[in-house]
Amino acid sequence: MRILALDIGTNSTLHLVAEIVGTNLTVIERGIAASGLGSSIHADGRIPEDAIATNARLIAGMVKRGEFHACQRRGAVGTQALRDATNRDRFVSMCNQAGISLEILTPEAEALLGWTGVFGYDGPKDSSALIDLGGGSCELSWGAASSPVWFDSIPLGAVSLSRRHFKTDPPLRDEISAARREAGATFSRWRGRLPADARVTGVAGTITAIAALELQLPDYREGVLESIVLTVAQISKWSERLISLSYPDRSALPGMPPARAHSINAGALILDELMSLLSLKEITVSEWGVLFGLAFRLAEKP
């Protein structure tokens, strides 16, 4: 069965065209477009009409890609930015008009889809943990089965931390200190929550971008980042470097995904804090996640 899945995040919108036969998924096409939802939402929580119009064009284009590939089923999910938006119903209506149904995920549903997307229908056999660091939220889960035995979601991510603290570019020392204090305090409730034997995997834009930077990846190729291991020293190195660079300089780095350059400095800061807080020496990169979990779920629907 051929599936079109869209993951509408705080920073970007991802699309996936996949062929699913049984438990096997083959990627036909995948892509990313900067949506700017998290950075455009007004103080009152409203998504402005120009941002909705921009996203309407992006989503309509992705729906056409699904039609081109003769997808039999299609669906979209939204995460933290849309959970927060006061006019989320307007966005849902726009998606319907573009030809795709949008479900705004609860934090629990987002964590479960991410788990299935990374580990498959049956889940991992051994003790495993998953960090999903997005633009507006971060999820941590662990277990060794088709669903995690424990999970938590915190509404803080790369875009929201950057928007809250980084008023200059590159950010000033006081801005960096304030961002690090908030990240440390906010995520402190995860201290000691992971089993010592859990193998930790990381998904979403920040960690895949750091992996691409580490490899100086000139052009993205499907699967090239999957299962790469990043050490705490590598993550700390990139956190320090990215926080010192302006947006044009970040954008010019070999391997930098264009859709990630705006808030990657804040995302790297959060990941650096998490590595320390969770006492991690390394983390395994996955390119899969919520988008792939949605594809699996769409294939199962009657």
Give me the torsion for CA of 285, 74, 135, 52, rounded to 10°: 160
Terminal C-alpha separation, the chain = 12
Q: Which CATH architecture has domain 2-107+290-300?
A: 2-Layer Sandwich (3.30)
pTM of the full structure: 0.89
Q: Which regions in the chain score pLDDT beneath 50? A: none
Q: Which residues, 6+ apart, have CB-to-CB distance to 110 below 8 Å? A: 77, 79, 132, 137, 139, 153, 290
Task: State the pLDDT at residue 207.
Answer: 94
Residue 271 to residue 209: CA distance in whole angstroms: 12
The residue type of 248 is P
Residues of the chain with CATH 3.30.420.150: 120-285
Is residue 95 within 8 Å of residue 165, measured between CB atoms?
Answer: no
The pLDDT of residue 302: 63
CA atoms within 13 A on the CB side of 10: 31
Whole-angstrom distance, CA of residue 267 vs CA of residue 30: 23
Task: Locate CATH 3.30.420.40 in the chain.
Answer: 2-107+290-300
* 120 DSSP 8-state letter: -
pLDDT at site 25: 93
- Residues 130 and 147: their CA atoms lie apart, in Å, by 11
CATH class, 120-285 region: alpha beta
Q: Where are the alpha helices (DSSP H) in the chain?
A: 37-40, 49-68, 80-84, 88-98, 107-119, 158-165, 173-186, 205-215, 232-243, 247-251, 264-277, 290-300
